[in-house]
Amino acid sequence: MKKAEEIIRMMNQAGAEGSPFVFGLDFELCRGFFIPNPLKQQEVLFDFRGFSNCRPRATTSSMYRFDKYPETQAEYARRFSIIREGLLRGDSFLTNLTIQTPIETDLSPEEIFHRSDALYKVYVPGTFVCFSPERFVKIKESVISSNPMKGTIDAHIPDAETKILSDYKELSEHYTIVDLIRNDLSMVATQVRVERFRYIDRIETSNGPILEVSSEIKGNLPSDWKNRLGEIIRTLLPAGSISGAPKEATLKLIRRAEAAPRGFYTGISGYFDGKSFDSAVLIRFIDLESSPYVYRSGGGITVNSSLKDEYNEVVKKVYLPF
């Protein structure tokens, strides 16, 4: 592992040289990893929308054990109340609150990585395995884009898509995140615009299918963006969808409520192939530095949030995507 500032510098240099790399940065911007010539190594496994250093493996059995031991609603309520008080004071309009859930499984982290059906997957032995559905930013031909994901519902609920799209709390939350990401991109890009607003993705999970609501925001970068790739990414961190708005005051609220660093959870990871860049928010995440392993999950809280609903959502998000 390296210090975050060293990784930012290495990203700038590799970008300017057009040299491929894979990287990761933690939520607190304290540490991370940088892998030059990533396709030539097998220590850290990754698959970012098909850019991968590993081949799919056939599974010998569909049977496996996956037990989760979430905190009680009463325990969650203590942190929820800290966030709600901050929202009522006006410290934040939207805050992402996360929990840690101990898990037990007879699958190895490498097996989980290979079995997972996800847009972005990364496995760092002894550190984490992540199977994320959410892009952080993509850069191609000087266009930067982001697809913040905010809003989840059980796909089995009758008229689930209509319900999630018409829910006032979910709509308010999504507006806030889209506005935040638009402002973030405006710090590094021009002509920032919302290309798609609140579209639906269906995701298959071990708990059954869910629907996730996302939007797409784009902007134009200067032609020399590769020379400042690391600096551009640092300017945008932490990701708005897993922090909240406004960022600085919301991060203070998160630290009070969660009372522990997130580490790589809700950090970012991605790749540069020499021409284009893509990255993911590290959600749907198993922390391998804990014993037993800990699954990290979270959700956005607003003044309109229901304690019971938010608790049920973060527990339901503890799943394997297969």
Residue 62 — very low, low, confident or very high, per pLDDT cuts 50/70/90?
confident
d(CA 135, CA 147): 6
At 155-179, the pLDDT tens digits run 999 999 999 999 888 888 889 889 9
Provide the H-helix boundaries in the chain. Answer: 4-17, 73-89, 109-115, 160-166, 168-186, 229-236, 247-258, 307-316
Omega before residue 158 within 30° of 0, cis: no
Residue 251: count of CB within 10 angstroms of its CB:
17
At 174-194, the pLDDT tens digits run 898 899 999 999 999 999 999
Q: Which residues contact 207 (CB under 8 A, 6 or more apart)?
A: 316, 319
pTM: 0.91
At 233-278, the pLDDT tens digits run 999 999 998 999 899 999 999 999 999 999 999 999 999 999 999 9
CA 4 to chain centre: 18
d(CA 150, CA 297): 13
Q: What are phi and psi of 255, to 5 degrees?
A: -60, -40
Cβ atoms 188, 236 nearer than 8 A: yes
Report the candidate in 134, 128, 73 with the shortest Cα–Cα distance to residue 103. 128
Q: What are phi and psi of 145, to 5 degrees?
A: -140, 155
